[in-house]
Structure 1
Amino acid sequence: MLLGLLVTLLYLFAAAHIGSRLFHHEGPRHKLSAMAGTLAVVLHLVLLVEGIFSLPGQNMSILNVASLVAWMISLSMTIASFSLTNAILLPVVYGFASLTVLVNLLVPDTYQMHIEMRPALLTHISLALFAYGCLMISLLYALQLAYINFRLKHKQKSMLHSSLPPLMIVEQILFKLLLVGTVLLTLSLISGFVFLNDMFAQHQAHKTVLSLLAWLLFTTLLLGHYRFGWRGRPVIVATVAGALLLTLAYFGSRFVKEVLLGM
């Protein structure tokens, strides 16, 4: 409990510190927020290890999985912040991570699995989590790209100028993330069809269908970009839609079962 509260406070401090400096002419003070964010990410990992391996096997409850995804995104964005200005994204990332940690503390849940006894399942789940984390980061960059496009289109002076990276760099990173995430999602789906025998079973069908729809959307988006030069608003809308489809696929039924129905 104490460790979880400490992680929550560190994330919130980092988010608040960055957010309070966004409109300052000097921009965020990276050193202090980076220290707080890095420490939060490290302690969050300790908290995850304790939470997931607290039972025989692994406790892969929806809250633990959400916290794990939040940690992956926080780790990636914290590392990226040392080489790229992404201060406008970090408060959102850290705020979401703090929320997952706090809810996990207040509403503990269990969903016991024995992944170590099924290497094929471990491979499938690992690929799915990495794909989801990468594509959720793509969503963040798509939203940032939309904001920068909005500012440029309306030619409005913004005091956030020092905290925003160049448009072309954000766009390049977005498509790289989409490419990596789509490749991981492809491998995740292939591993599911090869190693698992219930991808279209009643309790799995919606996950498979939604994941395939998201994969088709992301693949079409990438082909359109590299073949026809798609960019701008259609790319942003497609990225958001694909991310929503994956979120419904990964968390939809489990949210209903574990949270709403308490099964």
Structure 2
Amino acid sequence: MPTLFPALALLAYLIATCAIVLRLFHPAGPNFKWVFSAATAAVVLHMFALVGAIFTAEGQNFSLQNVSSLICWLITLSFTLISLRAPAILLLPLVYGFAALLMLVTLLVPEAVQIQHIVQNPGLLIHIVLAVIAYVVLSMATLYSIQVAYISYKLKHKDFSGVSRFLPPLMQAEKLQFRLLAVGTFTLVIALITGIPYTTNWLEHKSLLSSLALVIFMVLCWGHARLGWRGKTAISLTLTGTTLLTLAYFGSRFVKEVLLGRF
């Protein structure tokens, strides 16, 4: 039953999203027991769906759809765990809503087969794992930068009503944003270094865009540490770097597997 787990995960993600959105501006706020119960069920079901889709009898299926689902699952799991300690009420509907959309795509779009035996190549496996971790952490830093921008806007307009009461303090959110940025940048450095033996052309758009993204993240980390960069500058550079990193990987995979695959 290949569609059972994605269908149940989709339902659980939708319940978690609605449990937040429908009570976002309620005086008592969302019912967090409902939210985290549904989110936990969704994450577990999503994991079962991933295991069945990626690990096949023929090898590991790392199609664009499966890799996107894996990254989405890691981000969802991370935000669910982090939100238990640091409020992320503004970001959870975005994360769970996107995960639900991806589960819907999994149900509607036929799976593209791309079998690989990367377990037989430990170096390549390490590179892929580091690259995925770097992308997940930097994506989380990007989402937190959006939250920081929203909190800053609310503080400037002295609006502390509704959802604002459930947001973390600005300094706490900003501190977590730059911690994630530093960890993600360091992991991306290691990922690119471990990928050198498998890179034949550094001018290829995947390698070039990844390197440009790394430069932007490193400049931002340096600017924050030395010059105190924050606010709009940090948000703009973070969004730019993450966009380049997204194009570096998903852009080429989309063209090869989706556009060219149809012809």
TM-score, normalized by length of structure 2? 0.95
RMSD over equivalenced CA pairs, Å: 1.2
In structure 2, the partner of 1:165 is 168
Q: State the match for 2:116 in structure 1.
A: 113
Aligned length: 259
Q: Describe how 1:122-137 pairs up with structure 2 within 5 A.
A: 122-137=125-140
Contact 1:67 1:100 (C-alpha < 8 Å) held by counterparts: yes
Paired amino acid for 2:92:
L
* Structure 1 moving runs of 4+ over 3 Å: none
Q: Could you tell me how far 1:37 is from its partner in structure 2?
A: 0.1
Asked if 1:247 is matched to 2:250, the reply is no
Cα 1:196–1:27 change in 2 (3 A) is same
2:150 pairs with one of 122, 135, 147: 147
Ranges in structure 1 where 5+ consecutive residues have no aligned partner: none
Paired position in structure 1 for 2:5? 3
Moved more, 158-167 or 137-146: 158-167
In the other structure, the counterpart of 1:257 is: 256
Contact kept in structure 2, 1:185 and 1:215, CA below 8 Å: yes
For structure 2, the 5+ residue unaligned runs are: none
Q: Distance in 2 between matches of 1:257 and 1:197?
A: 18
Contact 2:71 2:132 survives alignment (8 Å) = yes
Are residues 235 and 197 of structure 1, via their aligned partners in 2, closer, same or farther at CA, if it must alter by over 3 Å?
A: closer
The answer to whether 1:138 aligns with 2:137 is no
Q: Partners in 1 of 2:199 and 2:148 — Cα distance?
A: 40
CA distance in 2, matches of 1:149, 1:249: 31
Q: In the alignment, what sits opposite 2:56?
A: 54
User: Which amino acid in structure 2 is aligned with residue 93 of structure 1?
Assistant: V
Return the match for 2:39 from 32, 37, 48.
Answer: 37
8 Å CA contact 2:151, 2:164 repeated in 1: no
Q: For 1:47-85, what per-residue CA distance to the aligned partner results, in whole angstroms no more than 9, with x for missing partners?
A: 100000124111101010000000000000000111111
C-alpha deviation, 1:156, in angstroms:
3.0
Give the letter for the 1:147 counterpart: Y
Amino acid at match of 2:260: L
Question: Is 1:238 aligned to 2:237, yes or no?
Answer: yes
Matches within 5 A, 1:64-75: 64-75=66-77
Matched residue of 1:150: which SS? helix
What letter is aligned with 1:32? W
TM-score by length of 1: 0.95
Offset at residue 182 of structure 1 (A) = 0.3
Question: Match of 1:99, as an amino acid?
Answer: L
Cα displacement string for residues 25-55 of structure 1 (whole angstroms, at most 9, x for unaligned residues): 1111111110110111011111100000124
In structure 2, C-alpha distance between the alignment counterparts of 1:207 and 1:93, rounded to whole Å: 26
**Counterpart mapping for 1:210-249 below 5 A:** 210-249=209-248
> Which segment is superposed worse, 105-114 or 74-83?
105-114
Q: Given that residues 141 and 177 in structure 2 are in contact (C-alpha distance below 8 angstroms), is that contact kept between their aligned partners in structure 1?
A: yes
Amino acid at match of 1:86: A
Q: Distance in 2 between matches of 1:15 and 1:218?
A: 31
1:94 equivalenced with 2:96 (yes/no): yes
Moved more, 7-16 or 154-163: 154-163
Give the Å deviation of 1:117: 1.1
Structure 1: how far apart are the matches of 2:54 and 2:248? 22
